[in-house]
Amino acid sequence: MRPEYDFSGAARGKTAARYAEGTNVVVVGRDVLDVFPDGTAVNEALRALAPVIRRRRKLLKKATRVASHDQGAGC
């Protein structure tokens, strides 16, 4: 290591807890960047869309249960 790298005042593991929390990196296309210029804009849009996705998943799960129940009745 080079002598100009002075770590004498450094604290070991200072950012380890924040790193352990994790970060997900998602690469978006250039066309998406035109609409959502930063992470905050992307997060706001996804949070607004999340309830719609949750409802759709719930409906699909319910429809799958009903369909499998109907198939079992005719056997």
Query: Residue type for 38, please?
Result: D
Vertex 7 angle, CA 5 and 10, to 5°:
145
Each residue's pLDDT tens digit, 9-36: 888 888 888 877 877 788 999 999 999 9
- CA within 13 Å, CB half, 7: 6
Which pLDDT belongs to residue 55? 96
If you average pLDDT over every residue of the chain, what do you get?
86
